[in-house]
Structure 1
Amino acid sequence: MTWVTDWVRSSPGTHIWLLVIGITSLVIASASEGLGQFLVHRTSSNIHELNEHPLPSLLISGFWIERPSSFLLYVALFELVHANVERWLGSGRWLLTVGGAHIAATLASQELVLLAIEGHRLPRSMTHVVDIGVSYGLAAAAGVLTYRLWPPWRYGYLSGVLIFFAVPLLTGASFTDFGHAIALVMGFAAWPLTPAAAAGGRTDHDEEAAGPAEEPAGPVEGPAKPPPDPGPDPKSRQER
């Protein structure tokens, strides 16, 4: 089981996040229906909570999921997406990417809800809508993961990701679909944070394919040695 330990250590942020989600999911699953509803509303980053508790609601909402029964699905997605991105970018740049996308997508999507309420397209009760979950961070990680894959797999993966997020956006989009699109774009925009960008666009596969730098053929000559000193020319000596 050494490889499991090494995998967890290589992506600590992903697995700490999963652990917290597992705990909060157990809390909701064991709570009464009324308490469960109170918790998901109290920890939502909706308009009401953002006005009352802006920073806590932005942070806490990313550690809860509405349906504890979907926890195993999130485990699989975290291991496939988040863990690989964190190992590649490093924990700091991974957190900057997914955390920034979660915050930006939450604020943008709730601003959309507010505009719809003010335009009488949504009821005022939407200020208390449930808005919790980890999907915005997953969308951003899925976006930046595109740069980790090698062609031609990259293009197939990119097409699948775009279709997955674009179809709901183009067919009766909700505020969460809009937030997913924002987060995905932020993941694509995180290219400068990737090791591939630092390497001038070369992927790890490119480095391996290129192999080590070639050394010049033949022996390497050192600096030329001066010829031995023959001593003074006998003819140049003065006789007495």
Structure 2
Amino acid sequence: MPVKWVSGLRVTIGYAAALVAVAAVLAAAGPAVHDRVIRYASTNLHNLAHGRIGTLLGSAFVVDNDGMALWLPGLVCLLAVAELLWRSRTLVLTFLVAHIGATLVIAAALALAVREDWVAHSITRVSDVGMSYGAMGVLGMLTAAIPSRHRPAWVCWWLTLGAVVALSTHDFTDAGHVVALTLGMLVSSRFGAPGLWTGPRLALLTVGSAFGYLVVAASAPAGTAVVASIIAAGAALAAGQRGSVAMIAGWLSRLTGKASPVTSRKKL
């Protein structure tokens, strides 16, 4: 990898190295220490209610599953393309907003559900660690770098996929993924122009998007994931067609100097 690329990926490389280091230490320490760290690093209601605010950050560095060698390259590609497009500071900001924001939103929803006896009280101590909320926020931030004519399809694909999966699994983590995606998309609306797309960056986007899909659909049964993908594809296709109609209407408006009826009904 060229030196310029390495210097431009300080956050991506540093975060990946930290994840590997923490996982290696926990593996070497044994199951008892591993379980204790997971318990204290979790951003569950029990820890948050006891003032363990540090879990909001520390939980992003602890991963409670196997197969890191399989998913880490996808995470690296996702973070790398975002960092190359918008620099390190913007990547860190978006990751933190999505990770902490989605955690707090889901915690508030769970607190209400527990108070109203909609869910069992045992959910307050469920392990909740990992980087998936932050990663979904980074995926959402890429929205601002997608060409405007494809952006409605991109947004509809990811939000529809996440919503269908969350509704089918009734899992609070899946709901958190949708919240994190939305936060990433909202934050990206405040960004300036991204860097230019190049062949390597498009390759990183492809692998990073595949990783994002696996994160969103991981907890859903295979059949549900397929159905969710089909529904999301239909929503994306419909959004893309509306975007194309609006774009053509805009061209006609500029040519004729008159407002187009289609443009006037367009909702952003």
| Aligned position for 1:143 | 140
The answer to whether the 8 Å contact 2:162/2:175 transfers is no
Deviation at 1:155, TM superposition (A): 5.9
Unaligned runs of 5+ in 2: 198-268
What is the alpha-carbon distance in structure 2 between the residues aligned to residue 189 and residue 98 of structure 1? 13
| Aligned position for 1:125 | 122
Is 1:39 the equivalent of 2:37? Answer: yes
What is the alpha-carbon distance in structure 1 between the residues aligned to residue 47 and residue 171 of structure 2? 19
2:64 is matched by which residue type in structure 1? Answer: E
Is 1:51 the equivalent of 2:49? Answer: yes
Deviation at 1:171, TM superposition (A): 0.9
Deviation at 1:112, TM superposition (A): 1.6
What is the alpha-carbon distance in structure 1 between the residues aligned to residue 184 and residue 36 of structure 2? 32
1:117 is matched by which residue type in structure 2? Answer: V
- Secondary structure of 1:120's partner? coil
Evaluate the alpha carbon distance shift between residue 14 and residue 33 of structure 1 in structure 2; reply closer, same or farther with a 3 A threshold: same
Is 1:180 the equivalent of 2:177? Answer: yes
The answer to whether the 8 Å contact 2:95/2:137 transfers is yes
What is the alpha-carbon distance in structure 2 between the residues aligned to residue 183 and residue 41 of structure 1? 23
Deviation at 1:176, TM superposition (A): 1.0
What is the alpha-carbon distance in structure 2 between the residues aligned to residue 191 and residue 114 of structure 1? 29
Deviation at 1:82, TM superposition (A): 1.1
The one of 193, 201, 209 equivalent to 1:196 is 193
| Aligned position for 1:161 | 158
Q: Alpha carbon RMSD of aligned pairs, Å?
A: 2.3
| Aligned position for 1:232 | none
Is 1:19 the equivalent of 2:1? Answer: no
| Aligned position for 2:89 | 92
1:132 is matched by which residue type in structure 2? Answer: V
User: What percent of counterpart residues are identical?
Assistant: 27
1:83 is matched by which residue type in structure 2? Answer: A
| Bigger radius of gyration among the two | 1
What is the alpha-carbon distance in structure 2 between the residues aligned to residue 76 and residue 156 of structure 1? 26
Give the ranges of 4+ consecutive aligned residues of structure 1 lying more than 4 Å apart after TM superposition.
Answer: 151-160
| Aligned position for 1:170 | 167
| Aligned position for 1:208 | none
The answer to which of 122-131 and 73-82 deviates more is 73-82
- Secondary structure of 1:130's partner? coil
Q: How many residues are treated as equivalent by the alignment?
A: 197
What is the alpha-carbon distance in structure 1 between the residues aligned to residue 140 and residue 180 of structure 2? 8
Deviation at 1:30, TM superposition (A): 2.6
What is the alpha-carbon distance in structure 1 between the residues aligned to residue 101 and residue 79 of structure 2? 18
Calculate the TM-score normalised by the size of structure 2.
0.66
Q: Which protein has the bigger helix share?
A: 2
The Cα offsets for residues 65-120 of structure 1, whole Å up to 9 and x where unpaired, read as 101x2322442222221111122112112211110111110011111221121122
What is the alpha-carbon distance in structure 1 between the residues aligned to residue 27 and residue 173 of structure 2? 23
What is the alpha-carbon distance in structure 1 between the residues aligned to residue 147 and residue 67 of structure 2? 31
| Aligned position for 2:102 | 105
What is the alpha-carbon distance in structure 1 between the residues aligned to residue 32 and residue 117 of structure 2? 30
2:172 is matched by which residue type in structure 1? Answer: F
Deviation at 1:39, TM superposition (A): 1.3
